[in-house]
Structure 1
Amino acid sequence: MRRAALIGGLALLPLVTACSGGGDDKAAGDSKPSTAAMAAVVAPAKVEVIANLTGCKVKIRTDADELREGVCHTPEGDYLITTFPEEKYKLTWLDSAAIYGGKYLVGPRWAISAKPKMLGPLRKKVGGTIQDLEAMHATQPSPSPSKSSSKYGPEPSSS
């Protein structure tokens, strides 16, 4: 099943790359597609497909209606691949993850959680964008100290 999805995606690759501007081509004779280009064709993909593109043998830890998660253990570090059946589930997941902050590699209906130093190399393999969720999460400003504040917080007003 995985092989059929990958072959089907690769069959569409010439159509996708033929429509690109071609401004970033390294050499005119280089017809070998990048892994990231292949990932874009098969994405949104299954956890196993993304894991295969990153070079890991994944262990599925969650298989639910809203998402599937798999863990990859590599010498560089461990990372979590999460896929979603619909984009709205990914957006809800990212919104929830924003509470914790951090950076994530995000693609169509998938996200990868890893140490920040791993995200760049993983992006070269599967594409996507690196999103900083701390920037998305609005924190409430802390109250400024006042003369009526004690070490236990502000004193109640007498009005």
Structure 2
Amino acid sequence: MPQQPPRGRTGRTLVARSVRGAALVGTLALLPLATACSGDGDGSAESKQTKTSARTAPSAGVVAPAKVEVIAALTGCKVKIRTDAEELREGVCRTAAGDYLITTFPAEKYKLTWLDSAAIYGGKYLVGPQWAISAKPKMLEPLRAKVGGTIQDLNAMRTASPAPSAS
């Protein structure tokens, strides 16, 4: 006799709940993009110019969702997933301007641990909620204009740490 899939408290299967959760996450990830595209201008040249400028540089509050494929699409690359683990997903983007890594995390605590570990090596990273982009410093500002986030200099964190004492 075939074994029944595990059921939750409400009697729904875990698979059905996972599919519903994935659909909700996808909808929430696309919501900022859909609302950013709504039009409220009168069609005048001034209105069109404002809309064009708004598309080229996100406002300070707009940050890409934490999904490798979505962030890659916003930066204009076709990503190749390199790591797909519980703690993080990492994809490689190869472009004419240079290569970069997009890393996403299921929770902010994993990103903070990753950044703490990366501080050993120093460098600058583009960081947003539950994601980080590793790239050459000259690429970070153009990427930030596309996906938001902040540029963090981990060299400063490394030099700010006190040296171990020889007691």
TM-score scaled by structure 1? 0.70
| Cα displacement (A) at 1:70 | 0.1
**Distance in 2 (alpha carbons) for counterparts of 1:126 and 1:116:** 16
Q: Is the 8 A contact 1:12 1:41 kept in 2?
A: no
CA distance 1:72–1:141, shift in 2 (3 Å): same
| Pairwise CA distance, 1:39 | 10
User: Residues 67-87 of structure 1, C-alpha deviation per residue, up to 9 Å, x if partnerless?
Assistant: 000000011110000001111
Identity of aligned residues (%): 71
What stretches of structure 1 move > 4 A for 4+ residues in a row? 1-7, 38-42
**What residue in structure 1 maps to residue 75 of structure 2?**
54
Q: Which has the larger radius of gyration?
A: 1
Partner of 1:77: 98
Gaps of at least 5 residues in structure 2 are 1-22, 39-44
CA–CA separation in structure 2 for the residues paired with 1:105 and 1:34: 20
Cα pair distance change 1:6/1:109, threshold 3 Å: closer
TM-score, with structure 2 as normaliser: 0.67
In 2: Cα distance, 1:104 partner to 1:43 partner: 15
**Partners of 1:141 and 1:41 in 2: how far apart?**
40
Unaligned regions of 5+ residues in structure 1, if any? 16-26, 144-159
The structure whose residues are more often strand, as a share, is 1
Task: Identify if the C-alpha distance between structure 1 residues 7 and 142 changes in structure 2 by more than 3 Å, giving closer, same or farther.
Answer: closer
Letter in 1 for 2:102: I
Given the alignment, which residue of 121, 133, 153 partners 2:154? Answer: 133
Q: Aligned-residue CA RMSD in angstroms?
A: 3.3
